[in-house]
C-alpha cells in the first residue's frame, strides 16, 4: 500500500493490485489525498489538477465502494476545488446529479458553501425526483408484506412466476424459487395474524399434528391462500407451464415445447424445496402428511393428465413425449423428497415420514380393482387409475428405500413390527405394472442393506411365495426380481447368506427354466426369472458359482438349438415383432 501514497493515483500499481484489495488501495489513496491537499499550494496543483480531477470523477461512477469511501471521495473533490482552480466544479456537480451520487454531493455542498453558486437549484429538483422514486421503491419493497396483496394477487403472481420459468437458466429458476418461498412464508404469517415471531409464521395455529388415516389430502389444515399457492405449483408441474391444454403443440419452428416444459418443472421442484426450507424444519415435521400426500398426488395426477394409456414409462423405454414428461415429473419428485425429508428432518422424523409413506402406499395398493375379463379369463384389465397409482407407488417405494439407506439400522422397528410398512412393499411385488415390481425390489434391497439380519427371512419368504404362486406371471417376475436384488446385496454384507439358500434358489431357477415350455402363457416369464436368479447367484463370487457350474452348462445346452436344422426352425418361428419382444 506504499504505492498509494502519491498525489495522483498510481494506475499501474492499481491494475496490478489483487481484486479484493483494490477498494483498500483506493481508500488509502483518498485518505492520503485528503491529508495532503490542505498542505499543497495552488501553484503545485496547477500542472496535475486536470489529471487528478479526471481520476476522482472516474471514482464516482463505479458502484460497490463503501460509504466511508464515498464520503472521503466527496471531501477530496471539495478540497481540491477550494485549493486549486474551480473551473471544472460545475461539470463534477452535473456528473454527480446524473449518477445520483448523494454522498459526494453532500460533502461538496457542505465544504464549498457558496462556491457552488445556483447549481443547488438543479440539484434540488433532482433530489425531489429521487425522493419520489425512493418512495415508490419503498412501496414496492413493502408490497410483499401487505395482506391485501397476498389475498388478491397471489394467483396472478404465481402465474407470472411460472411463465417466467419457460426457457429459463439456473439463476432465474433459483430466484423464482425464492419468490415462491417468500410468498408461502407471507401467506402463513398473515394467516396467523402476527409476524412477530418465526415460530408462529411457520406453524399455523390451525395446523393439526395428526389426521385420520383415511382422510383425503384435500382436508388439509393449512390456510386457503396456501392451498392456492400449492394448487398453482401443482398445476404448473402437471402442465409444464401455464395453460397446457395443447399437449402436443409445436413452436413456430416446428419443434415441440418439451424443453421449456422440462425447465418449468425443474424450476417448480426447486420452488417446493425453497418453500420447505423457508418455512423450516418444524413446519415440515408438523405437516409431513400434507407434504407426502400432496407430492404423491402429483405423481398420480401426472399419469392421468399426461400419461400413457398403454404402459407406465421406465428408464429403458424410448422417450416419447408422454413418457419423457412422466419421467421428468417423477425425477423432480425424487429431488423434492430427498431435498426436504432427506435433509431437513432428523432421524426420528424421517422414520415417521417412512411410516406415513407406508400408509399411503397401502392405500394406493387398495385403490384399484384388477377385474377379470370375461373373454380372457386369465388376463387383467388395467385402467388408467392402475397406471396412475403405479406412478405414485414407484415414487413412494424409491423414497422409502432412500430413507432406509440414510437412517440405517435405526429404522429396523419400522420393518420388524407387525404394523410396519413391509407388507405394502411386498404387496407391490404382485403389482400388474412391472415398474412397480422393480421399484419394490430396489426398496427391499435398500432395506436389507440397512438391516442385514432381514436378508435370510426375506429370501425364505420369496422362495415360499414363488413355490405357492407359480401360475401367476406377476408373482414369478416380482419375486424373482426381489430374490435377485437380495442376493446381489449379500456380497456387500458381512453376515452374508447361508450356502443352502443359494442352492435352493438355483434349484428353483432350474425348475423354472425346464418347466417353461409346459405353460405357453408363462414361458417368457419363467425363462426370464430363471436366468435372472442364476445371474444373481453368479454375482456372489466363485464360492457360490463353482458348485453349480455342471448344471449351469447343461441349462445352457438345452437353452440353445443343438444343430443347424433346429436353428433354422427356431428362426422361422414368429416374426420380427415377437422376436423383439422376446429379446
pLDDT tens for 55-100 read 777 777 666 677 788 788 778 877 777 777 777 777 777 777 666 6
Asked whether residue 557 carries a pLDDT value surpassing 80, the answer given is no
Question: Helices 321-344 and 347-365, interaxial angle, to 10°?
Answer: 150
> Which residue carries 486536470 as its cell?
50
Q: Characterize 313-324 residue by residue with b for buried, 16 or more Cβ atoms within 10 angstroms of its Cβ, and e for exposed.
A: beeeeeeeebbb
* Cell matching residue 481: 426380481
CA torsion 82-84-86-92 (nearest 10°) is -80
Cα-to-chain-centroid distance, residue 583:
36
Cα–Cα distance, 516 to 510 (Å, whole number):
10
In a 10 Å sphere around its CB, with 0-12 CB exposed, 13-18 middle and 19+ buried, how is residue 106 labelled?
middle
> Are 57 and 73 spatial neighbours (Cβ–Cβ below 8 Å)?
no
Q: CB under 8 Å to 13, separation ≥6 — which residues?
A: 3, 4, 25
Within 197-287, residue ranges assigned H as helices are: 198-202, 224-239, 258-279, 281-286
* Cell matching residue 101: 451520487
Query: Per-residue pLDDT averaged across 28-43, rounded?
Result: 79
Cβ neighbours, 10 Å, residue 109? 17
Rounded to whole angstroms, what are the CA distances from 174 to 169, 178, 181, 188, 267? 9, 6, 10, 21, 7
Asked whether residue 255 carries a pLDDT value surpassing 70, the answer given is no
Of 219-228, 307-316, 456-465, 571-580, the least confident: 307-316
Return the SS3 of 380.
strand
- What are the backbone angles phi and psi of residue 372, rounded to the nearest 5°? -100, 130
Task: Report, in angstroms and rounded to the nearest whole number, the Rg of the chain calculated over CA atoms.
Answer: 36
Indicate left, alpha or beta for 521 from its phi (over 0: left) and psi (-120 to 50: alpha).
alpha
Structure-model confidence comparison of residues 27 and 448, the more confident one: 448
Asked whether residue 334 carries a pLDDT value surpassing 90, the answer given is yes
Of 357-371, 402-416, 517-531, the least confident: 357-371
Q: What pTM value is reported for the model? A: 0.67
Cβ neighbours, 10 Å, residue 83? 17
Q: CB under 8 Å to 154, separation ≥6 — which residues?
A: 183, 187, 225, 228, 229
Cα-to-chain-centroid distance, residue 296:
15
Asked whether residue 246 carries a pLDDT value surpassing 80, the answer given is no
Amino acid at each position: 500500500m506504499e504505492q498509494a501514497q502519491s498525489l495522483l493515483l498510481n494506475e499501474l500499481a492499481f491494475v496490478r493490485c489483487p481484486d479484493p484489495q483494490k477498494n483498500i488501495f483506493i481508500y488509502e489513496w483518498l485518505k492520503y489525498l485528503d491529508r495532503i491537499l490542505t498542505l499543497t499550494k495552488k501553484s503545485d496543483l496547477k500542472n496535475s489538477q486536470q489529471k487528478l480531477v479526471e481520476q476522482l470523477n472516474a471514482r464516482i461512477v463505479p458502484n460497490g465502494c463503501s460509504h466511508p469511501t464515498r464520503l472521503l471521495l466527496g471531501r477530496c473533490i471539495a478540497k481540491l476545488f477550494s485549493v486549486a482552480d474551480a473551473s471544472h466544479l460545475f461539470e463534477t456537480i452535473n456528473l454527480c446529479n446524473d449518477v445520483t451520487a448523494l454522498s459526494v454531493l453532500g460533502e461538496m455542498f457542505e465544504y464549498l458553501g457558496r462556491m457552488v453558486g445556483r447549481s443547488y437549484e438543479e440539484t434540488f429538483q433532482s433530489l425531489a425526483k429521487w425522493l419520489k422514486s425512493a418512495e415508490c421503491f419503498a412501496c414496492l419493497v413493502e408490497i410483499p408484506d401487505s395482506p391485501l396483496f397476498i389475498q388478491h394477487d397471489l394467483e396472478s403472481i404465481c402465474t407470472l412466476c411460472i411463465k417466467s420459468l419457460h426457457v429459463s437458466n439456473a439463476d432465474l429458476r433459483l430466484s423464482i424459487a425464492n419468490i415462491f418461498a417468500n410468498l408461502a412464508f407471507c401467506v402463513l404469517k398473515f394467516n396467523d395474524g402476527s409476524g412477530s415471531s418465526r415460530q408462529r409464521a411457520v406453524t399455523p395455529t390451525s395446523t393439526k399434528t395428526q389426521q385420520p388415516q383415511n382422510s383425503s389430502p384435500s382436508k388439509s389444515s393449512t390456510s386457503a391462500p396456501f392451498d392456492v399457492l400449492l394448487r398453482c405449483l401443482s398445476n404448473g408441474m402437471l402442465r409444464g407451464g401455464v395453460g397446457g391444454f395443447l399437449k402436443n403443440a409445436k413452436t413456430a419452428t416446428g419443434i415441440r415445447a418439451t424443453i421449456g416444459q422440462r425447465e418449468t418443472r425443474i424450476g417448480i421442484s426447486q420452488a417446493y424445496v425453497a418453500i420447505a426450507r423457508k418455512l423450516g424444519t418444524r413446519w415440515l415435521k408438523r405437516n409431513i402428511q400434507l407434504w407426502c400426500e400432496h407430492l404423491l398426488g402429483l405423481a398420480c395426477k401426472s399419469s392421468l393428465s399426461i400419461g400413457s394409456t398403454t404402459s407406465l414409462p421406465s428408464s429403458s423405454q424410448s422417450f416419447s413425449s408422454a413418457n419423457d414428461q412422466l419421467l421428468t415429473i417423477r425425477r423432480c419428485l425424487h429431488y423434492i423428497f430427498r431435498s426436504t425429508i432427506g435433509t431437513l428432518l432428523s432421524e426420528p422424523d424421517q422414520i415417521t415420514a417412512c411410516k406415513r409413506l407406508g400408509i399411503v402406499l397401502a392405500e394406493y395398493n387398495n385403490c384399484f380393482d384388477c377385474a377379470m375379463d370375461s373373454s380372457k379369463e386369465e388376463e387383467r384389465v388395467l385402467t388408467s387409475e392402475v397406471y396412475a397409482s403405479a406412478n405414485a407407488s414407484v415414487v413412494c417405494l424409491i423414497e422409502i428405500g432412500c430413507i432406509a439407506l440414510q437412517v440405517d439400522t435405526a429404522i429396523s422397528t419400522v420393518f420388524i413390527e407387525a404394523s410396519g410398512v413391509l407388507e405394502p412393499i411386498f404387496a407391490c411385488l404382485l403389482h400388474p405394472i412391472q415398474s412397480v415390481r422393480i421399484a419394490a425390489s430396489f426398496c427391499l434391497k435398500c432395506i436389507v442393506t440397512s438391516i442385514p439380519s432381514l436378508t435370510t427371512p426375506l429370501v425364505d419368504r420369496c422362495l415360499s411365495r414363488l413355490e405357492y404362486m407359480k401360475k401367476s406371471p406377476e408373482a414369478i417376475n416380482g419375486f424373482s426380481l426381489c430374490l435377485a436384488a437380495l442376493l446381489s446385496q449379500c456380497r456387500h454384507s458381512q453376515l452374508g447368506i447361508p450356502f443352502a439358500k443359494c442352492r435352493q434358489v438355483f434349484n428353483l431357477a432350474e425348475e423354472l427354466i425346464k418347466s417353461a415350455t409346459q405353460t405357453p402363457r408363462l414361458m417368457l416369464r419363467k425363462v426370464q426369472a430363471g436366468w435372472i436368479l442364476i445371474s444373481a447367484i453368479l454375482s456372489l463370487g466363485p464360492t457360490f458359482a463353482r458348485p453349480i457350474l455342471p448344471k449351469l452348462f447343461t441349462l445352457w445346452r438345452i437353452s440353445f438349438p443343438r444343430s443347424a436344422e433346429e436353428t433354422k426352425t427356431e428362426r422361422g418361428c414368429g416374426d420380427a415383432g415377437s422376436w423383439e419382444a422376446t429379446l
